[in-house]
Homo-oligomer: A and B are copies of this chain.
Amino acid sequence: MKFPEWMANVQRRVEQALEQRLPAAQLAPQRLHQAMRYAALGGGKRVRPLLAFAAGEMTGAPADRLDVIACALESIHVYSLVHDDMPCMDDDTLRRGKPTVHVQYDQATALLVGDALQTLAFEQLSLPGLFDDSHKQVRAIAMLAKASGSRGMAGGQAIDLDSVGKSITREELEFMHIHKTGALIRAAVMLGALAGNHESASDSATLERLDHFGKCIGLLFQVIDDILDEVADTATLGKTAGKDAAQDKPTYVSIIGLTPARTLARELAEEAHDTLAPLGANAQRLKEITDYIVSRPF
């Protein structure tokens, strides 16, 4: 199967899985459930699920287990978007081409939508029998929690807030991004791999290699995001363009400049490919996702 077709398949599966696994809109409390569905359905590139599926296919993970993992990852990701968009944070009105949750509903609902989506992620990962091996399931839950919390995604968000209007170093910027975006992307690769039934799913050399790949791709993703925020328009992005500069937020573009940022992106893509090389044809989808991430004109 060609990559675009594979990608479209996974995106369709994930949409369907979310559709089924999010609480139904008619279930009480209806307004909350409607807003959760509004936030999570019908949009997004589903990068984290794509990475989980690609890594999971490498290690022989059952597709229905990957569906649940993908839902958990997207629930965490979407919760963070909903909260980040709130007036006390980035105060944004547009996300995935639609009004943000607090605009479409209200702030209190947006707060609860984020809260409940986070919980839903852990509810999904703790479904009975999701893994044949409960020990591995606990490990997967721990991995998601670590990646999302104050030493991962939420912590990166806090550093981001603190850095507004400040001049920070390239190292500090990298530290922020490794947490804010990198941690969950890395967890997506690792959770997908861990879900496998093959030997490779427990092989520490393979897992270490995938972890390093996850780290590269997480940073790559953010560098490209910083570049696109500078060069693309709002219609293309589906979210407000030029936001970082307007909010005086440090980015790779503001700190190292546009051309060096482009060079860095190419270097990170190369490092990602080099890391995957020893894994051979098994890692094909991960290589293709890397190429896909750098394929947006930046």
Contact = CB atoms under 8 A, between A and B. Distances in A.
Interface of A: 23, 27-29, 31-33, 36, 79, 83, 86, 88-89, 106-109, 111-112, 114-116, 118-120, 122-123, 125-128, 133-135, 137-139, 141-142, 144-146, 148-151, 154-155, 157-159, 161-162, 175
A142 B123 contact: yes
Contact of A114 (B115, B122, B135): B115
A155 B111 contact: no
A145 B122 contact: yes
Given A28-B155, A29-B162, A155-B29, A127 B142 contact: yes
A138 B148 contact: no
Contacts of A159: 28-29
A292 to B, nearest CB: 29
Contacts of A149: 116, 119-120, 123
Contact of A138 (B108, B114, B128): B128
A113 to B, nearest CB: 9
Q: Is the interface of A mostly helix, strand, loop or mixed?
A: helix
Nearest to A29: B158
9 contacts: A28-B159, A29-B155, A29-B162, A83-B111, A89-B111, A115-B115, A123-B149, A134-B138, A138-B138
Given A79-B115, A119-B149, A123-B146, 15 more contacts: A29-B150, A29-B162, A31-B162, A89-B108, A112-B154, A112-B157, A112-B161, A123-B142, A123-B145, A126-B138, A126-B139, A126-B142, A126-B145, A134-B138, A137-B138
Contacts of A33: 150
Report which residue of A135, A145, A161 has the largest number of chain B beta carbons within 10 angstroms of its beta carbon: A145
Report which residue of A33, A79, A116 has the largest number of chain B beta carbons within 10 angstroms of its beta carbon: A116
In the A-B complex, list the 5 residue pairs whose CB atoms are closest, starting with the nearest.
A88-B107, A119-B149, A134-B134, A123-B145, A126-B142
B128 A148 contact: no
Nearest to A154: B116
Given A108-B88, A116-B150, A141 B141 contact: yes
Contacts of A125: 141
Contact of A111 (B88, B119, B123, B126): B88
Contacts of A127: 142
B134 A137 contact: yes
Given A145-B122, A162-B29, A111 B138 contact: no
B32 A116 contact: no
Contact of A32 (B120, B139, B155): B155
Nearest to A80: B115
